[in-house]
Structure 1
């Protein structure tokens, strides 16, 4: 049986891929089977562009030890858009459109054949539109799996994280933990942010410091 976890964000550009890749490397080091997927990705350079190596998709493939090929890229991120915008806007620029049912069906098909853990990384913040009608929260609800909420430690991160937690609670989405990822140039240490969040939620709040290994508490959740 696979264990599926959705990696959601309290905002955009706060380190979802950093957390997902760290978790993948830790699980693989323990000898566990794990598959990391980022079905929807915006701001993705063409696959032949050297800048593609810095894309979220390429970073997840590297963490899994999978060579970057057209096939592996498609198997990880089938909905890729060039513009660094919310996916619905980025798709519209390219004259494309995705529907939530198709995205959910694709994810479920990958989960069904997985032998181990499946990590599905979202795109943008929890309430970012992923299609013309659906947000990341709607996608998460449709999948029905638990989530890890990634927060930064920047000024305002506490409010953003607690707002996202409240949105999940209101919609019956189970959160396994909040992961505070250290933000570059943050005014306070991530531990300070984590302590503040911890006072208001009934779930683990885990810190992932920059360039630090995946904490035991985080790996134990998958």
Structure 2
């Protein structure tokens, strides 16, 4: 199975940017890619012009797919308007998100992908962010049993957050393919410096993605072939 879970060491650190960049790089390398973000909060209605800036729209663009009700539903079936943790955002709408339903949907999507397709499943929020009333993002990841690409920012404090997430993944026996440092605009330290520091302590491969830049070609092997 050629599938990878893209998890975050925190919220709003560039998971979608990295997922989209990896999608484009894999496609340029001749591979089929299915990029999914099953859950998203703070999503405007499809008819709203701002939807073009949503995570779902960015992933569809990276796959050269149009934004239609069908493609949006196939990429992000659980969309919530409030920019809150999914459990809180769902409650505001009188809805409920269940971990079993989410994991089953992901398994079905992965199984239905065409042979040779690399499936990227982007998480929501940080690794330990609440997902449902009972489960965190880590529980979702463990339920799927996929190898993981951990995305960190380069902001002040990102090194500690990334290393804490790495230790959490190790403790739960989650296979970590690599850490990607996604450049944080306005950060006081270059992302390469942050990546080097994480690499000294993480015992894992560390890649760097600058805003406006692509996914490094030498890092494409993070997706199992």
TM-score range normalised by the length of the shorter chain = over 0.9
Q: 1:95 aligns to what?
A: 94
Q: 1:124 aligns to what?
A: 125
1:217, CA displacement in angstroms?
A: 2.5
CA distances 1:36-61 after superposition (whole Å, capped 9, x unpaired): 00000000000000000000000000
CA distance in 2, matches of 1:202, 1:162: 10
Q: 2:160 aligns to what?
A: 159
1:219, CA displacement in angstroms?
A: 1.3
TM-score by length of 2: 0.97
- Aligned counterparts, 1:27-176, within 5 A: 27-115=26-114, 116-176=117-177
Q: What is the CA RMSD across the aligned residues, in angstroms? A: 0.7
Unaligned runs of 5+ in 1: none
Count of matched residue positions in the alignment of Structure 1 and Structure 2: 221
Q: 1:8 aligns to what?
A: 7
Secondary structure of the equivalent of 2:89? helix
Q: 1:195 aligns to what?
A: 196
CA distances 1:112-148 after superposition (whole Å, capped 9, x unpaired): 1112110000000000111111100000000001000
Secondary structure of the equivalent of 2:178? strand
Q: Which moved more, 1:80-89 or 1:206-215?
A: 206-215
1:218, CA displacement in angstroms?
A: 2.0
Question: Are the aligned partners of 1:206 and 1:217 in contact in 2 as well (CA < 8 Å)?
Answer: no
TM-score by length of 1: 0.98
1:111, CA displacement in angstroms?
A: 0.7
CA distances 1:151-191 after superposition (whole Å, capped 9, x unpaired): 00000000100011111111111110000000011010001
CA distance in 2, matches of 1:129, 1:211: 30
Question: Are the aligned partners of 1:13 and 1:124 in contact in 2 as well (CA < 8 Å)?
Answer: yes
1:29, CA displacement in angstroms?
A: 1.1
Secondary structure of the equivalent of 1:7? strand
Moved over 6 A (4+): none
